[in-house]
Amino acid sequence: MNDKTAKIEFEVQLQAKACPFCGSWDLRVRESKDSDYPMFVQCNSCGSDGPNEAGAIKAVERWNERKSPGPVPEDK
């Protein structure tokens, strides 16, 4: 883990809400291969993930907007 990743993890722990599916606070920001929207929040406990966004903080915001359980359709 480099310094940038550590900082992102810290931000997520401060700002992300508990997983809406399993209630876990064990969350992390992950990076996908999508060059435009590479960042998303994933729950380490149940594996559910949030919407892809360009930045980690935005990804956390989108994660926090999730309310109802259920699979999230992929953005087309």
Residues that bind Zn ion (CB under 5 A): 19, 21-22, 24, 43, 45-46
**Residue 28 dihedral angles phi and psi, to the nearest 5°:** -150, 155
CB 3, min distance to Zn ion, A: 27
CB 50, min distance to Zn ion, A: 11
User: By C-beta, is 5 or 24 nearer to Zn ion?
Assistant: 24
Residue with tokens 């956390």: 60
User: By C-beta, is 35 or 71 nearer to Zn ion?
Assistant: 71
Q: Which residues pair with 42 in a beta bridge?
A: 28, 49
User: By C-beta, is 13 or 54 nearer to Zn ion?
Assistant: 13
- Sign, CA dihedral 68-44-38-17, equals positive
